[in-house]
Amino acid sequence: MFSQTTPSRRRAGLWLSSSILLSAGLAVDAVEPAPVPADPQPAALGEPQGGGLLPNPSQNVTINLINRLVQHGILPKTEAQELIKQAEADTALANAQAQALQGTVAQVAAAQAATQVAEPVPSAEDALRVTYVPETVKRQLREEVREEVMARARKEKWAAPNAVPSWVSSIRLFGDVRTRFDGSYFSEGNDVAAFPDFNAINTGAPYDVSGTLLPPHLNVDQDRDRLRLRVRFGVEAILGDGFSAGVRLATGANNTPVSVNQSMGLAGQTQGGNFSKYAIWLDRGFLKYELGGMPTRNLAVTLGRFDNPFFATDMVWDDDLGFDGLALQAKYEVRDGVVPFLTAGAFPVFNTDFNFASNRTTKFESSDKWLYAAQIGTDWKINKDFSLKLGTAYYHFDNVEGQFSNPYTPVNALDAGNTDNTRPSFAQKGNSYMPLRRIVPNALNNFGTTNQYQYFGLGTPFQEFAVTGRLDFSRFDPFHVTLTGEYVKNLAYDGDRLERHAVNNRASLSDNAAPGTVGAFAGGDNAWNVNFKVGSPALEKRWDWNVGVGYRYVESDAVVDGFSDSAFGLGGTNLKGYTFYGVVALSPRVNFGLRWMTSREVAGPPLKVDILQVDLGGKF
């Protein structure tokens, strides 16, 4: 904590030594002088005596006091040793001066005795000579000196416990800044008409499937280069008695759950473009209670918005995704190197607006969506070279799939259906969709030929079963070889429902087309990936590095596309392909990385895209 001895601390040490010598010495001729040590050495600090924790006791009160200050954390050892050296030097000098003074006094007394008439010897009643200092007086002197030293330390602010307010030590600030070149390059064979932007439709006005205007479409043919920025800043606070809290702010072009990247120069949502400022979002905010607090034995309950509590890959959960709700995490070492763990939680995915529908006097029933999830697994240190982490999870999405509305005839785009809220509030691409509104043909819509305003919901329920594993070989630590893999299956996948109602991977968004007339549905419910990495698992010093390669295969409805990785294949599902990457540390807190991803569709219309990312990031 202290890097050097300040002049005020040096003065305090000298004053400490002088005060004790003057206080304990009384009169020079009243106490027997201590012998001058031949080669004074500083007393050892912190060396145990008889298995105890106290330093070896010294005959010097100053040294004992300084050792006590070190023991209670008031002084660092390095400064204490310097003070001890000074105190012992002062003691040696004082003893030498006392001996010289006594010799001079003896010579003067002898000369006076030889030249003067002998005076009568005083009686015992008239003599006053102090031959020792009582122990009670010594203790009182030590306490007085200690109080004076502490008062001076507090005044001059060189005593550590009083240097800063106590709350400062319970707060940790952290953050990171990353710049990225992001290039997206498409194949000329991509089907430009086959990829409606369901997210744009569902977050805006409904699309009239009977109209002549085309719906919003994803870009699958025009290459784009972007310079992107990610900034995150947070604080964690220890509240005491097992409680803690955390808050983090982050950039982002919008409130997308899977990315905090801001494309520089991008104008949108009243920010960016022409050097305009960018928005900052609340990315994390939580309270946590922990019981145990040990790496291998702990129980934690977290409430709020927090990091992903599950052991998983970005094939299921994007790395930037935050979880809202309540999570319970427990782990307990049952034997040396074997630590089973349990994670469970309830997370609100969507909460119905209190006044839904806002443009009606009568309101619609709530259509809240929840994720209930649990995972069990174990960390196993197999031997000194191999460690394995394995987890099995079940993710149950309640009410996340689309639901048909009650039959009605919308007269305009603002005329809501009672199941409009079952559409996803955010989506990427790849999942299968179905129309939500059961529109009754009558004279108001020219018997089904006009005013066919539609929203679209997920075509199948989602109940994901996932197995995730990581095997690490560390014989040449810090050089590691790591193999990670994950398999996911959607147990609630409903192929019959999709075949009847799905519009994704078809040539039309209209629900009037008969199944099979515009291309039969193509999709699936399985996903898996594998990743091989070599190098330093953590970039802790300059020139630490790691490189890796991965492959993934994600069918259309294996996972919810809105929560999966937003980078590979430009996000979502119905993708397969490779990832190659490498990272090197330019300093303990700055690293440089390259990533190349190549992907294409698993089924349906052709979609091939290659992505290059060049990163330079720093953390604090």
Rg (CA), the chain: 38
CA distance 125 to 458: 110
How do beta strands 590-601 and 463-476 pair? Answer: unpaired
Res 278: pLDDT: 93
Res 102: pLDDT: 67
Give the pLDDT mean for 441-461. Answer: 94
Q: Is the dihedral of CA 312, 313, 314, 318 positive or negative?
A: positive
156-160, 307-311, 493-497, 500-504, range with greatest mean pLDDT: 307-311
Res 68: pLDDT: 72
pTM score of the predicted model: 0.74
CATH superfamily of 169-619: Porin (2.40.160.10)
pLDDT digits (tens, 9 = 90+) for 559-615: 999 999 999 999 999 999 999 999 999 999 999 999 999 999 999 999 999 999 999
**Mean pLDDT score across all residues of the chain:** 84
pLDDT digits (tens, 9 = 90+) for 119-142: 454 454 544 454 556 677 677 777
Contact present, 505 and 484 (Cβ < 8 Å): no
Q: Is it true that the peptide bond before 206 is cis, omega within 30 degrees of 0?
A: no
Q: Give the range among 240-244, 268-272, 559-563 with minimum mean pLDDT.
A: 268-272
pLDDT digits (tens, 9 = 90+) for 424-445: 999 999 999 999 999 999 999 9
pLDDT digits (tens, 9 = 90+) for 333-360: 999 999 999 999 999 999 999 999 888 8
Res 24: pLDDT: 42
pLDDT digits (tens, 9 = 90+) for 70-87: 777 677 777 777 777 777
Res 61: pLDDT: 65
Res 118: pLDDT: 46
Q: What angle do CA 13, 18, 21 make, to 5 degrees?
A: 130
Q: Give the range among 162-176, 277-291, 494-508 with minimum mean pLDDT.
A: 494-508
Give the pLDDT mean for 197-203. Answer: 95
- Residue 26, pLDDT > 50, answer no
Q: How far is CA 368 from CA 201, 355, 401, 451, 472, in A?
A: 20, 13, 11, 28, 41
Q: Which DSSP state fits 438?
A: -
Give the pLDDT mean for 154-174. Answer: 70
Pair of tokens at residue 550: 């991965």
> In this structure, what are the phi and psi dihedrals at residue 65, rounded to the nearest 5 degrees?
-65, -45
Give the pLDDT mean for 372-384. Answer: 97
- Domain extent listing, the chain: 7-114+132-163, 169-619
- Of 103, 91, 102, which Cα lies nearest the Cα of 37? 91
Pair of tokens at residue 189: 């064979």
Instruction: Name the band, by pLDDT with cuts 50, 70 and 90, for residue 159.
Output: low
- Residue corresponding to tokens 């952290």: 174
pLDDT digits (tens, 9 = 90+) for 511-554: 443 333 344 567 899 999 999 999 999 999 999 999 999 999 99
Partner residues linked to 215 by β-bridges: none
- Of 184, 216, 174, 175, which Cα lies nearest the Cα of 198? 216
Res 111: pLDDT: 57
Contact present, 560 and 554 (Cβ < 8 Å): no
Q: Give the range among 19-28, 197-206, 296-305 with minimum mean pLDDT.
A: 19-28
Q: How far is CA 350 from CA 12, 249, 372, 389, 391, in A?
A: 64, 22, 13, 32, 27
Res 147: pLDDT: 78
- Residue corresponding to tokens 């697994």: 377
